[in-house]
A and B are shown apart, each in its own frame.
Chain A
Amino acid sequence: MTQQAPPTGELTTGAAGAPAAPGPATLIGRLRARPAALLAAGVLGLLVVLALAAPLLAALEGQSPNTYHDALVDSARGGVPYGSLGGVSAEHWLGVEPGTGRDLFVRLLYGARVSLLVAAGATVLQLAVGIAVGLAAGLGSRFADSLLGRATDVLVSLPTLVILIALTAVAPAGFPRPLLLILVIGLLGWGGVSKVVRAQTLGLKKLDHVAAARLGGSGRLRVARRELLPALAAPVITYAALLLPANIVAESSLSFLGIGVTPPTPAWGQMLSSATTWYRADPMYVLLPAGLLFTTVLALTVLGEAVRTALDPRAAGRLGVGRTRGRVRGGIRGRIRKGGAA
């Protein structure tokens, strides 16, 4: 979409109506103006590229993620890597894992694949289910709404861990673990999204353009697709930026409880959970995954915040003097997000 200048004499339009929603081009334009957002996007992009290129980079270093190097660790001292900085050397750029001597650089790269995949997959699933349920509750009858509301209540009150542990036990042994994690985290964590979407939908539903569409003969599905979904983008993206890091942390917490990805597959969370005790004997082992995780979360948050502000019409519009009109009160229920298993 190209921006055209407002029709002449229409100095007034911005003031009178609800602020215009930015199209994708504007959004990117606004993001470009923020160096922090650019940097964050760059960091995330780099991470994704590194994760994708893991086999190439591993070949470059000449290591593989699962090869043991018994000679590189001191068996008498619990398997701590020989040498400084956790065994950093020309062969092992970031040192090796205590106990096994596996190459950390390559494991971190491969770990990024799993962690990012699980987090992104779970987030997508949470969003998909949450949006579907939220829309259905917001658009459906009063009965459907309260039914879905109670179902969400049940879901939110279910201790995630109980279900997780039970499900990991129930799932067939050959079932790919990352997929299982995606399914479990995704299917248990959509309560917040659905609440946000429902609240937004209830607000949006009252807007005249939705009524107009219905009058024009659009059915519920059509209304949902054409009139509501686009308007939900901003809150949903904002929410996704919160969910992604939370899901990475969830993956690591599950690993901590022994229900994460299956070995020998590396994942950041799983590395972090096995590294926690090594903080004194081999600080590098903790710092590397923790640092990466932190960087990712930071980048995601900065980017999420930037997208949120860029999508928020008020941020680009007037401050202070202008009148706020037709504002949708998301309300408390809209802001609710389910806490993780802390």
Chain B
Amino acid sequence: GPESGDSAKGATAGPAKGGTLTVLNSDPQSDFDPARLYTSGGGNVPSLVFRTLTTRNRENGAPGAEVVPDLATDLGRPNADATEWTYTLKDGLAYEDGTPITSADIKYGIERSFAAELSGGAPYLRDWLVGGADYQGPYKDKKGLDSIETPDAKTLVFKLNKPEGEFPFLASQTQFAPVPKAKDDGTAYEKHPVSSGPYRVTANRNDGEELVLERNPHWSAKTDEERKAYPDKIVVKSGLDPAVINQRLSTSSGADAAAVTTDTNLGPAELAQIGGDKQLAGRVGTGHFGYTNYLAFNPKVKPFDNPKVRQAISYAINRKSVVNAAGGSALAEPATTFLPDQKAFGHQPYDHFPAGETGNPGKARELLKEAGYPNGLTVTLTHSTEENRETGPATATAVQEALKAAGITVKLQGLEPNAYNEARWDITKTPGFFISRWGADWPSGGPFLAPIFDGRQIVKGGSNYNHAQLDDPAVNKEIDAINKLTDLDEAAKRWGALDARIGEQALDVPLFHPVYKRLYGKDVKNIVISDWTGVLDISQVAVK
């Protein structure tokens, strides 16, 4: 497991300032504009440069899944039905050039994210803010968005369409980072964004393949309790092959001794290797990110309209081989609930169709017989051809083998990644039975359950995630009710209960929750892995 995040205090070889941290990644930071980034809680590298109204709590485990103030003095002050949120900025906030950060800059930053030129961010602002659906961004629509008010340089008021008790979570996304209007040059801004965080971008090569971050002299630790900013310099190198990244981290020679990765998991082969190596095993950080891989049904397609068929499949599934396909028990935990197994999500354990460790084909056959398929049946499972251990061929074959035992012949339909996404997200093309997955935009049941089960979020002409096209008034009503709550603990409990209730309908078969296992270099200290991101937090890492 990870080392204690608080080892800074009192430890003899505690973390110290200085040195250069290298980040070895496979995906480049090709969009480094706060308007375009789609992150959970402000992202890992972006959060070094962009401060937001709120941010995630940089602590190990469950406390790390909490949201805390960043630029703002608190998590926001809602009105009675949570349709209006007011924030006040801290004192002494400045950009990398020393100019002060104002509430207008944050408003402007949000407005930019509506511009067609800067697409890519999360859709929530558009849905939640009054007038957001029609707003075209500041380039086309100079008037600005009326639902964001800046009564003075320190205050922001957000007016929402409907109650949103989880607004503080949204305010942690990079769209809530300040952008000085004078420095905005549209799509070119990403090359030299103006930093509000501890580091500024001094080089951005090949569209994000290599980023060099150096200290922002105008950042003050006094206004920022979350970011530690130990290294003097951070170099992010991306575009590397995952096998190479892991090999470099395990060899950990030269500059790689002070290297980490924020996007590359250890693969099964590497885990097998590390399993026999104490020294290496000590350099593996384990984390959990709210994520569920599941089998999705489209009940509009026969025979999945029959709940018994769906239940039969739920019984038949062999989670052991699925977990093995995902890289073994170290990389995946079998899931029986749709919500991730974390307190922040309000996880409430249930297993409505117990398949045991390796499946219950007997029970499945029974159900099939009841459903009118005494001689078994043949179904098609759609999956991605990408070798990704989640939605790819490995998982699909594991499912295929498991269902065989229950008399269900599974034909595999592998689709090239784009076609696969199109198939599962385009409501007119949704296959009957396919592999899917869902990750949280922030650690709460809201963004986990609503897009999947809220009947009003069935999207035509865009990306639809409500695969089952569930439109249950009771569910919809409960979602609205929870959204009103501003007590997040209370909300979490009700999300958990809702999940258990929806689970009875067998609209999906939860397969597993992934576990993140990541190597870091031998000189890397102060590893903090929160349940929010599941990944070590660069802002906490020290190399001295």
Interface residues of A (CB under 8 A from B): 66-68, 70, 73-80, 98-101, 165, 168-169, 173-174, 258-259, 262-264, 273-274, 276-282
Interface residues of B in 387-414 (CB under 8 A from A): 387, 392-394, 396-398, 400-402, 412-414
> What is the chain B residue whose CB lies nearest that of A281?
B272
B10 to chain A, nearest CB (A): 35
Considering residues B243, B387, B400, which has the most beta carbons from chain A within 10 angstroms of its beta carbon? B387
A79–B413 CB distance below 8 A: no
Is B327's CB within 8 Å of the partner chain A? Answer: yes
Neighbouring B residues of A264 by C-beta, 8 Å: 393, 397, 400-401, 412
Chain B interface main SS type = helix
Interface residues of B (CB under 8 A from A): 243, 267-273, 275, 318, 320-321, 323-325, 327-331, 358, 385-387, 392-394, 396-398, 400-402, 412-416, 418-419
A100–B324 CB distance below 8 A: yes
Q: How many Å lie between the Cα of A98 and that of B394 in the bound state?
A: 12
B269–A277 CB distance below 8 A: yes
Q: How many Å lie between the Cα of A75 and that of B331 in the bound state?
A: 9
CB contact between B393 and one of A174, A262, A282 (< 8 Å): that residue: A262
B418–A263 CB distance below 8 A: no
Neighbouring B residues of A262 by C-beta, 8 Å: 385, 393, 412, 414
Q: A76-B330, A78-B267, A259-B385 are in contact. Are A100 and B397 (CB under 8 A)?
A: yes
5 A-B pairs (CB sep. < 8 Å): A70-B358, A73-B328, A258-B386, A264-B397, A281-B270
Q: A70-B318, A258-B385, A259-B385 are in contact. Are A79 and B398 (CB under 8 A)?
A: no
Q: How many Å lie between the Cα of A224 and that of B190 in the bound state?
A: 63
Q: How many Å lie between the Cα of A76 and that of B328 in the bound state?
A: 6
Q: A77-B275, A262-B414, A263-B393 are in contact. Are A99 and B385 (CB under 8 A)?
A: no
CB contact between A78 and one of B271, B400, B401 (< 8 Å): that residue: B271
A75–B418 CB distance below 8 A: no
Neighbouring B residues of A100 by C-beta, 8 Å: 321, 324-325, 394, 397-398
Q: How many Å lie between the Cα of A75 and that of B416 in the bound state?
A: 28
B243–A277 CB distance below 8 A: yes
B75 to chain A, nearest CB (A): 40
Q: A73-B324, A75-B324 are in contact. Are A276 and B243 (CB under 8 A)?
A: yes
Q: How many Å lie between the Cα of A70 and that of B324 in the bound state?
A: 8
B272–A78 CB distance below 8 A: yes
B463 to chain A, nearest CB (A): 19
CB contact between B273 and one of A68, A74, A280 (< 8 Å): that residue: A280
CB contact between A77 and one of B328, B358, B414, B418 (< 8 Å): that residue: B328
A98–B269 CB distance below 8 A: yes
Neighbouring B residues of A273 by C-beta, 8 Å: 387
Neighbouring B residues of A99 by C-beta, 8 Å: 268, 324-325, 327-328, 394
> What is the chain B residue whose CB lies nearest that of A273?
B387
Q: How many Å lie between the Cα of A76 and that of B272 in the bound state?
A: 8
